[in-house]
Amino acid sequence: MGENYISCQVEKGSINISEEVIAGVVKSAVCEVEGVAGLSYTAGAELAELIGLKTVNKGIKVQFTDGKIIIDVIINVVYGCNIVKVAQDVQEKVMTLLQASTGIEQAEVNVHVSGIAFDK
């Protein structure tokens, strides 16, 4: 994550929230959804980890564009669960928790299912 912040002007000054804070809220929300086996690495995150760079928020990408937050979440779904329902539940949970914890309503949540997790 970079040094990007979303800024809100309020009566007493400005409030700045970093990408990493948003990603932390998203991670918390995703982990609460039934049927999610976990977050999945992107190819870039795996490569960064191999060369020794620490990836704080695997499977989550946050961008601020035109006053809107665009969140990409990459998940694995538990085998036997309805993939579309799990993805929709992730979108809803992320939006609900994001609005409750930050007051941000201008957001887009894209869920990418990259795999299925089977019981061992």
pLDDT of residue 45: 53
Residue 113 confidence (pLDDT) above 80 = yes
Domains along the chain? 20-117 (3.30.70.1350)
| pTM exceeds 0.75 for this model | yes
Q: By percentage, how much of the chain surpasses pLDDT 70?
A: 84
pLDDT tens per residue, range 28-60: 999 999 999 999 876 555 555 555 554 456 789
What are residue 71's DSSP bridge partners?
A: 62, 109
Ramachandran assignment for 52, one of left (phi > 0), alpha (psi -120 to 50 degrees), beta (any other): left
Q: Please, which pLDDT band fits residue 117 given cuts at 50, 70 and 90?
A: very high
pLDDT tens per residue, range 58-68: 789 998 887 78
Burial status of residue 44 (CB atoms within 10 A of its CB: 0-12, 13-18, 19 or more) = exposed
